[in-house]
Chains A and B, each alone.
Chain A
């Protein structure tokens, strides 16, 4: 047994090393945000956010069509994933021990672990190959497929927090299961459900591979959902690996816009969680 003094010193030294590791992890986030802000701020202005890309070699141009394209595809994905995911979560909540429920939960775990690239391959083979065109619709569906299992898992956790005494009170008043879900469980859980949906949207907003394989990209405004569409992440990728300094600087501007959107969604949902918790007195 080493001396007591030695033990204390060894312990402190190990603690300091572990703290330095944690500091390094925090520092990395700082480094990434710093470079995005420094290189991105110079590129961002109102024209940049609202105009079309210019032809190769011409200075100027912006990411307006990519912002719109991303918004529309995330919108399609949300329209698909929210009803589907929340309805599935209602089933898991109503029949938690049924075979279908455990199988669905298992499926959600598998799906959330599957690389988003694979979901791109799936939607490509199913929609793009037969129709012979990349489209905003296919991109939105790919995002929706990716978001649904996330929303199902988060919604199930939230629905489970609605206490059983409330549910029983509702049944005692003669309400059917459907009425209980519609008038008691969903309104009570609304805040938490929204947080889960916001986090899924934040994740979808940053997805590149599934959108690249299904919507490709475009240098024009989106006029039709069956056309290829530009999106913020794909633009960052194509501009980032391009040899033109002008495009590279626009990639940083687009990255700043994307990171701002994603981080705001994350921070707001964190804030909602802590407000809800405080109101519940947790």
Chain B
């Protein structure tokens, strides 16, 4: 049947054209499965050696060949959630400013500046973080927190500059453009007549923003935050340069830690056998986690939505 279709296409003057385009698409589709399969196969020895214990063990010992992922998984979550807590409000506020508040002549330059922030390579953020941000954190906010709140485990010193807080801040800068761009896109979808209706009722511009624009963009904004979170979880180079690379449970914000991605970057070139397999297992965890977070985000941003009025009743979008 395949041959028959091929022949009939050749006779209709199409040649192999439809086949080739379908093949290109199918190859792209199989790439996802291919990546998953190759990483899974590589991670298999570690999976069968450690089982679920890999997720809770805190050991990472190449000498005795025992590996556990608890510190780096918690390190990944701590740094990326910290980044989201900082970049979330900042990113949404920036989107509100560009879309709703900025005078016409500032709209383009500000949004362009935020877009360029997304274009700066992550290794350059790492360099900047290591030589500019980390020294500032060490002597500024880090020293302050250590001095006044150092009795809390969360702020236990010494303030080294590199560590969880610096990484969270740097990641926040890096995911800000993602959050701002998507939030703007969702907010642009809020119908004009709803905005005008609230103005007609005598609302101020800020009341219009908080009662019409933001409630109607809620799902999309959560999606934008999730996409930012996904980026932060998978970020490798910048994190590696400022996290301090200490494979232990992240307790203090000021102390060095390790994330899954930074551990892979640090140890991959020299790893073999079970250590290599354990790193691939971490890669598999990253692949699955970021994919799930991103798919949830894409679903929230692009799903068909119903529009809510200021009172919270649902109207249907035209």
Considering only CB atoms, which chain A residue lies closest to B269 in the complex?
A216
- Are B121 and A22 touching (Cβ within 8 A)? no
Question: Chain A nearest CB: distance from B260 CB in Å?
Answer: 9
Considering only CB atoms, which chain A residue lies closest to B206 in the complex?
A11
Map CB proximity to B onto A1-42 as digits: 1 under 8 Å, 0 otherwise.
000000110111011011101101110111110011001000
Considering only CB atoms, which chain B residue lies closest to A118 in the complex?
B287
Complex contacts, B39 vs chain A, CB 8 Å: 118, 121-122, 125
Question: Chain A nearest CB: distance from B26 CB in Å?
Answer: 6
| CB < 8 Å A-B pair total | 256
- Are B128 and A32 touching (Cβ within 8 A)? yes
Complex contacts, A110 vs chain B, CB 8 Å: 32, 291, 294-295
Complex Cα spacing A241 to B96, Å? 38
- Are A114 and B123 touching (Cβ within 8 A)? no
Complex Cα spacing A85 to B122, Å? 24
Q: Answer whether residue B55 sits at the interface, using C-beta atoms and an 8 A cutoff.
A: no
Complex contacts, B233 vs chain A, CB 8 Å: 115
- Are A100 and B22 touching (Cβ within 8 A)? yes
- Are A103 and B121 touching (Cβ within 8 A)? no
Map CB proximity to A onto B38-49 as digits: 1 under 8 Å, 0 otherwise.
110110000000
Interface of A is mostly: helix
Complex Cα spacing A213 to B266, Å? 10
Considering only CB atoms, which chain A residue lies closest to B173 in the complex?
A28
Chain B residues with a Cβ under 8 A of chain A: 12-15, 17-18, 20-22, 24-29, 31-32, 34-35, 38-39, 41-42, 89-91, 93-94, 96-98, 101-102, 110, 112-117, 119-128, 130-132, 173, 176, 180, 204-207, 210, 227, 230, 233-237, 240-241, 261, 264-265, 268-269, 279-280, 283, 286-287, 290-291, 293-295, 298
- Are A29 and B236 touching (Cβ within 8 A)? no
Q: Answer whether residue A255 sits at the interface, using C-beta atoms and an 8 A cutoff.
A: yes
Complex Cα spacing A6 to B62, Å? 65
- Are A117 and B234 touching (Cβ within 8 A)? yes
- Are B27 and A84 touching (Cβ within 8 A)? yes
In the assembled complex, 17 residue pairs joining A and B whose CB atoms fall closer than 8 Å, in A order, are A11-B205, A11-B207, A15-B206, A30-B113, A35-B131, A84-B28, A88-B28, A92-B25, A100-B29, A104-B26, A114-B35, A115-B290, A181-B17, A213-B269, A237-B123, A237-B240, A259-B121
